[in-house]
């Protein structure tokens, strides 16, 4: 270990560590240090410490500690513990650092031996962490720019204005009111004071520091004794034991002169901490508060009432009245005019639970819909928007969604109600114009545009903001998250199907968008509900009855099992994804060549056999590159893909597939559901190899496995893999090419099918879903389709969505002849022009306008060694598609072209089936 002198006194560890960590964490960190788990340590003159600590599981954590300007250690550690300023690994490193710098271990008298208790929800621990939170605010109250800009006109008690000094928000000035010498009744208008349940904040601590220098406690106490005025304000009340009604946060400061003369009735309406006792309802509480003020006035007692008190009572009363109005609609929705003129006019038949969700969201106006994937959260959001508009609450709805789902939202809105929907996209200049001209009821944009276009979005002043797939925003400290919390709208709706109990800390931040106090103080959430193991990993939750009661105020969640009787036997969900610039370049090059071939066909009324073969290759390569650039340029990455243990960031960049990124997110959500099994289809084996690599770590984390099923497997191995998926609970994903699209019975194991691309023939799509949607299936089936937008895949989807087979019925015989007459070629061209306009997409031409190498459309995959997930060896496909293309014979007889496919080519070209079927179908 390298020893370097730094400017900070190492003895600060034993002097200050009790203000940096709880006794529990200090005890565990000391135990780690004494057991020699600090493996390396290096300190620098800048005050930074780098170390490595071995966990009890032999896992090694790298720790970085940097002391800030107040002498507080700020640590970075990859361990799961994050609700105290320091984890036990950081404490162990600090103790080791003092030992190395001074030659003596930190003296930590009074710290008990390590406790192995896995529960956190005890009052002593929560109080200890509360003290750490208070100390942090006290220390940081002198941060740069935090200054007092206005003081009371006379005396020391009263209201102070404190500026945050934030250069990006010049209007951030908070009002701190000091009411007593003990600082028990100080309050602040900042959001931290309102939600932290500490009774203080950095602004209050800044005023306390200033008064400590200018006015001692005796002066404050003397001024309080002389006061003849009672104060009423909103306090910061603890909620981890009991959930207070908002009106219960009304608190009174009764100065000594009034308290000594206070009538008994005043003591009866206040509790021991001077909070107003709760009434039966919001209206009763408001009435009781008004009566109290009148009695005080009759006694000649003056009351200084914070305007926020009246605002809170009025808001609660109005909310209660609104919910009663919605309850009236809920008694007979179909018969109520507001429902009939909005939701009743939708072009979809709602299930009872969906109508319930709409009414719940409309009644609360700020709601979290957490239904399982596939239960129609989008439809509920659309219905809620329409109902609130009819009731005069909403003029415009802003939908914020992942970029991949913007087109899906637009399509769902058009299908459900026919309302106009503006999708914000394009360059910054184009987006400004779109915002300026936005007159649609629905405005749709992706999360990334929030912080780029915040001024334009704020100018829209939407009455309802819908956050879709909110769980995708993992880090709520990002610019996107901060932008979300700046959105101002009276109505807010959050949609996600992620099981909430697995991501409690994320739920806290998402809930803050609905109501900053929805789940109480952020620092208190996990200490209240989490159950840990010895390594501080969350292994469960406690007090779930309290958590459910808290969530019930703004959350509605139905699982698929709960509403099974209401569900159709099948639901389809489409996820739209973008393509990268590399994919777009190749796609456009290929598209321009297809356009030139069609123009040649139009001009000469014929195509040569080489033209025809190149057309097939171009179309197939366009589809392939829409999946992943790496699937198109397979030879460049094949060895790395097949030899990779996990997906690295470098390999991900080479693969270049937003579709696979979206697939990973979807699979993470699906696999979070205990016992859920999924069947994943692609036409190409290379694509399912890439897909398996993208989710391998997710499977390993849950101690699950997958199987890969393709035409390369022997009949014996096929049977074994099917049995494994059907019978082994740990085998949860079945990756399959279309070789598994027929003849498989997977309905007893799975009820979810993911299609990595849309087949060109809807019958092939039905065959895939039919593997689980068949007799014997006891659950409702979910089909998820991934579609690349603004490319050939979107055009194909539009045709398939109309149940039009682009290709059909080619491989019914051993040898197939397809004949096109002169008239038929013209008909074919007219239909293809809708997919490939003559202008074509601009792109760089391939050399000599040639088709890409045939290896691009080949689906051969090198031999794969057994691994922990597959435990199998898969060889090359039965035939090489590229070489099989050479066996296609094209001849001409007068005005007719004849395409002949011998049996070996037919077997090899199973993957090309849709292409040839289309030619026959479109020529008909």
Q: Binning pLDDT at 50, 70 and 90, where does residue 566 land?
A: confident
Q: Considering the chain, what is the average pLDDT of its residues? A: 81
- Per DSSP, helices labelled H in 498-605 are 504-514, 522-529, 544-551, 581-604
Is 71's pLDDT higher than 70? yes
pLDDT given for residue 385 in this prediction: 97
pLDDT of 924 above 60 = no
Q: What is the largest CA-CA distance in the chain?
A: 115
Instruction: Considering only residues 70 and 652, tell me which one the structure prediction assigns the higher pLDDT.
Output: 652
Digit-coded pLDDT (tens) for 100-117: 989 888 888 778 775 544
Residues with Cβ within 8 Å of residue 546, at least 6 apart in sequence: 243, 528, 529
Q: Are 676 and 670 in contact (CB under 8 A)?
A: yes
Distance CA 156, CA 731 (A): 69
State percent of the chain over pLDDT 70. 81
Residue of 901, 900, 913 lying closest to 806 (CA atoms)? 913
3-state helix, strand, coil in the chain (%, to 5): 45, 15, 40
Instruction: Evaluate if residue 835 carries a pLDDT over 80.
Output: no
- pLDDT over 60 (residue 871): no
Provide the 3-class DSSP secondary structure of residue 157.
coil
Of 85, 79, 65, 78, give the one whose Cα is nearest residue 19. Answer: 85
What is residue 895's predicted lDDT score, i.e. its pLDDT? 44
For the segment 480-498, what is each residue's pLDDT rounded down to a tens digit?
Answer: 777 887 888 999 999 987 6
3-state secondary structure of 692: helix
> Taking 70 as the threshold, does the pLDDT of residue 410 lie above it?
yes
Phi-psi region of 537 (alpha: psi -120 to 50; beta: other; left: phi over 0): beta
Whether the CB-CB separation of 622 and 633 falls below 8 Å is answered with no
pLDDT in tens, 255-298: 888 888 766 777 778 888 888 877 666 677 777 788 888 888 88
pLDDT tens, position by position, 625-667: 999 999 999 999 999 999 999 999 999 999 999 999 999 999 9
Chain segment 324-348, per-residue pLDDT in tens: 999 999 999 999 999 999 999 999 8
What length is written for the chain?
Answer: 924
Task: Give the separation between CA 532 and CA 521, rounded to whole angstroms.
Answer: 20
Other C-beta atoms lying within 10 Å of the C-beta of residue 777: 17
For residues 795 and 772, the model is more confident at: 772
Residue 239 has pLDDT above 80, yes or no: yes
For residues 39 and 208, give the distance between their C-alpha atoms in angstroms, rounded to a whole number. 43
Measured at the alpha carbon of residue 378, what is the angle toward residues 376 and 383, in degrees to the nearest 5?
100
In the structure, what pLDDT confidence band is assigned to residue 125 with cuts at 50, 70 and 90?
A: confident
pLDDT for 42 equals: 92
* pLDDT confidence tier of residue 822, bands split at 50, 70 and 90: very low
pTM over 0.75: no
Residue 200 clears pLDDT 90, i.e. is over it: yes
Residue 838 has pLDDT above 70, yes or no: no
**What's the rounded Cα separation, in Å, for the pair 216 and 214?**
7
Pairing state of beta strands 678-681 and 816-820? unpaired
pLDDT for 124: 81
299-303, 584-588, 750-754, range with the lowest pLDDT:
299-303
pLDDT of res. 663: 96
Yes or no: say if 37 and 95 are a contact pair by the CB < 8 Å rule. Answer: no
What is the 8-class DSSP label of residue 275? B
pLDDT at 7: 58
Strands of the sheet containing 187-188, edge to edge, are: 147-150, 158-163, 173-178, 187-188
Q: Phi-psi category of 871—alpha, beta or left, where left has phi over 0 and alpha has psi -120 to 50?
A: left
The Cα–Cα gap between 201 and 562 comes to 44
Q: Of 94-108, 432-446, 755-769, which range is least confident? A: 755-769
Residue 119's CB is within 10 A of a number of other CB atoms, namely 13
* H or E element in which residue 91 lies: helix 88-102
């Amino acid at each position: 270990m390298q020893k370097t002198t730094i400017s900070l006194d190492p003895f600060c560890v034993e002097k200050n560590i009790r203000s940096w960590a709880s006794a529990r964490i200090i005890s565990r960190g000391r135990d780690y240090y004494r057991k020699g788990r600090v493996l390396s340590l290096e300190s620098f003159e800048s005050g930074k410490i780098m170390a490595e600590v071995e966990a009890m599981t032999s896992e090694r954590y790298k720790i970085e500690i940097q002391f800030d300007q107040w002498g507080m250690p700020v640590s970075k550690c990859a361990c799961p513990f994050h609700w105290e300023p320091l984890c036990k690994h950081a404490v162990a490193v600090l103790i080791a650092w003092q030992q190395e710098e001074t030659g003596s271990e930190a003296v930590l008298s009074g710290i008990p031996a390590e406790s192995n208790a896995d529960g956190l929800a005890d009052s002593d621990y929560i109080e200890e962490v509360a003290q750490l939170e208070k100390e942090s605010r006290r220390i940081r109250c002198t941060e740069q720019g935090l200054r007092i800009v206005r003081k009371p006109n006379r005396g020391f008690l009263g209201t102070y204005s404190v500026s945050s000094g934030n250069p990006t928000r010049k209007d951030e000035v908070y009002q701190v009111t000091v009411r007593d010498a003990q600082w028990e009744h100080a309050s602040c208008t900042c959001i931290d004071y309102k939600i932290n349940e500490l009774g203080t904040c950095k602004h209050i601590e800044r005023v306390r520091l200033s008064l400590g220098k200018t006015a001692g406690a005796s002066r404050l106490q003397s001024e309080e004794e002389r006061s003849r005025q009672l104060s009423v304000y909103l306090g910061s009340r603890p909620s981890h034991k009991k959930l207070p009604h908002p009106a219960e946060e009304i608190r009174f400061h009764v100065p000594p002169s009034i308290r000594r003369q206070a009538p008994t009735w005043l003591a009866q309406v206040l509790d021991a901490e001077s909070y107003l006792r709760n009434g039966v309802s919001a209206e009763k509480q408001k009435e009781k508060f008004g009566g109290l003020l009148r009695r005080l006035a009759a006694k000649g007692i003056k009351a200084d009432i914070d305007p926020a008190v009246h605002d809170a009572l009025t808001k609660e009363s109005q909310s209660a009245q609104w919910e009663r109005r919605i309850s009236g609609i809920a008694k007979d929705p179909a018969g109520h005019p507001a429902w009939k003129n909005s939701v009743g006019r939708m072009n979809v038949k709602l299930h009872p639970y969906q109508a319930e969700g709409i009414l719940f969201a409309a009644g609360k106006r700020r709601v979290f819909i957490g239904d399982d994937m596939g239960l129609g959260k989008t439809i509920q959001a659309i219905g809620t928007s329409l109902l609130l508009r009819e009731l005069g609450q909403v003029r415009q709805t802003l939908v914020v969604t992942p970029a991949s789902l913007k087109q899906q939202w637009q399509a769902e809105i058009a299908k459900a109600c026919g309302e106009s929907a503006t999708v914000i996209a394009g360059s910054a200049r184009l987006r400004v114009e779109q915002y300026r001209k936005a007159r649609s009821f629905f405005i749709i944009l992706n999360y990334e545009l929030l912080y780029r276009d915040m001024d334009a979005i704020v100018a829209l002043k939407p009455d309802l903001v819908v956050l879709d797939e909110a769980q995708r925003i993992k880090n709520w400290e990002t610019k996107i998250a901060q932008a979300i919390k700046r959105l101002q709208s009276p109505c807010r709706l959050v949609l996600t199907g992620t099981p909430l109990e697995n991501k409690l800390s994320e739920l806290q931040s998402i809930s803050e968008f609905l109501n900053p106090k929805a789940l109480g103080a952020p620092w208190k959430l996990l200490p209240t509900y989490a159950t840990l193991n010895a390594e501080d990993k969350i292994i469960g939750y406690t007090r779930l009855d309290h958590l459910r009661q808290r969530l019930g105020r703004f959350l509605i969640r139905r699982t698929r099992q709960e509403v099974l009787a209401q569900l159709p036997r099948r639901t389809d969900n489409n996820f739209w994804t973008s393509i990268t610039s590399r994919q777009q370049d190749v796609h456009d090059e290929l598209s321009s060549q297809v356009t030139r071939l069609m123009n040649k066909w139009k001009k000469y009324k014929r195509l040569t056999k080489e033209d025809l073969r190149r057309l097939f290759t171009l179309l197939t390569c366009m589809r392939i590159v829409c999946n992943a650039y790496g699937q198109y340029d397979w030879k460049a990455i094949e060895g790395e893909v097949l030899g990779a243990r996990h997906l690295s960031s470098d390999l991900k960049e080479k693969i270049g597939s937003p579709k696979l990124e979206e697939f990973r997110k979807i699979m993470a959500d699906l696999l979070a559901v205990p016992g859920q099994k999924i069947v994943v289809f692609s036409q190409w084996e290379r694509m399912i190899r890439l897909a398996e690599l993208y989710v391998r770590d997710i499977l390993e984390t849950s101690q699950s496995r997958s199987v890969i099923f393709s035409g390369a497997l022997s009949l014996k191995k096929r049977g074994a893999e099917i049995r494994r998926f059907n019978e082994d609970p740990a085998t949860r994903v079945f990756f399959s090419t279309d070789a598994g699209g027929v003849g498989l019975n997977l309905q007893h194991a799975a009820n979810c099918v993911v299609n990595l691309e849309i087949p060109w023939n809807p019958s092939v799509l039905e065959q895939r879903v039919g593997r689980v949607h068949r007799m014997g299936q006891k659950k409702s089936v979910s089909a998820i389709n991934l579609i690349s937008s603004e490319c050939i895949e979107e055009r194909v989807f539009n045709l398939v969505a109309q149940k039009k087979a682009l290709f059909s019925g080619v491989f019914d015989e051993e040898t197939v002849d397809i004949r096109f007459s002169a008239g038929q070629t013209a008909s074919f061209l007219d239909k293809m022009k809708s997919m490939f306009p003559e202008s074509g997409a601009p792109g760089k031409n391939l050399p000599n306008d040639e088709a890409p190498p045939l290896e691009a459309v080949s689906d051969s995959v090198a031999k794969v060694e057994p691994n922990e997930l597959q435990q199998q060896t898969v060889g090359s496909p039965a035939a090489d598609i590229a070489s099989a293309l050479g066996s296609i014979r094209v001849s001409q007889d007068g005005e007719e072209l004849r395409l002949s496919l011998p049996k070996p080519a037919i077997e090899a070209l199973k993957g090309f089936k849709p292409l040839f079927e289309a030619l026959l179908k479109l020529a008909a």
